[in-house]
Chains A and B, each alone.
Chain A
Amino acid sequence: LAKTTQPISMDSYEGQEVNITCSHNNIATNDYITWYQQFPSQGPRFIIQGYKTKVTNEVASLFIPADRKSSTLSLPRVSLSDTAVYYCLVVPYGGFKTIFGAGTRLFVKA
């Protein structure tokens, strides 16, 4: 399983766009990049998943460059309720053995 590296913590203000970058230099051809969000006292929640280029949903966008050795989760116009830990995972197609790293603790201030 490819190892991921992401910042331990980030601070932002309400209304700003937040970009969290994850490094996964050893990503394999059949690996997908998945991001989860975890609020205090809750289980992680799936946010977005992608293989290459750009993926967008109602919550976030995921940018993946051509070499796929990194990815960037973009949260538009964050609010206080986006304060959470964000995990970047690399999972093979059809694979289920997931490794959650330390994640990035995002703190949104008023």
Chain B
Amino acid sequence: DAGVIQSPRHEVTEMGQEVTLRCKPISGHDYLFWYRQTMMRGLELLIYFNNNVPIDDSGMPEDRFSAKMPNASFSTLKIQPSEPRDSAVYFCASSYFRLAETTDTQYFGPGTRLTVL
């Protein structure tokens, strides 16, 4: 399997522009997560989906951030308008849960490094 795929790997944009990050989870996984990592705040869970439905978005910093999962193989995280403080590495992860197994193991993508000037 190719693992979790994220695009772009690097994004540089100017303040006020719209930014869209993309993620393709591992086939067969029914959970998808978006994280943000900065030196100051560490790795933060922004939102996660189960079967394409957002379950918990309490980590989304503000209304400028939105996430969608139109189908089982694709998700987007959008920032509009972007600000310099949004500069971070954004990770997507996917997982699955089966009753006979223990708790989750999340598989992370390579991340998108976002720089907002």
Contact = CB atoms under 8 A, between A and B. Distances in A.
Size range of the chain B interface in the assembly: 20 to 34
Interface of B: 4, 31, 33, 35, 42-45, 48, 50, 55-56, 91, 93, 95, 97, 102-111
Q: Is chain B's binding surface mostly helix, strand, loop or mixed?
A: strand
A101 B43 CA distance: 7
Contacts of B95: 96
Contacts of B105: 34, 46, 49
Of B43, B50, B93, B103, most A-chain CB atoms within 10 Å: B103
Given A96-B97, A102-B42, A44 B108 contact: yes
Interface residues of A, number: 24
Contacts of B31: 96
Interface stretch (A21-29, A61-69, A71-79, A86-94): A86-94
A81 interface: no
Interface string A23-65: 0000000001010000001111110010100000000000000
B48 A96 contact: yes
* 6 nearest A-B residue pairs (beta carbon): A43-B108, A100-B43, A46-B105, A32-B103, A43-B91, A91-B103
B103 A92 contact: yes
B104 A43 contact: no
A51 B110 CA distance: 29
A47 B4 CA distance: 17
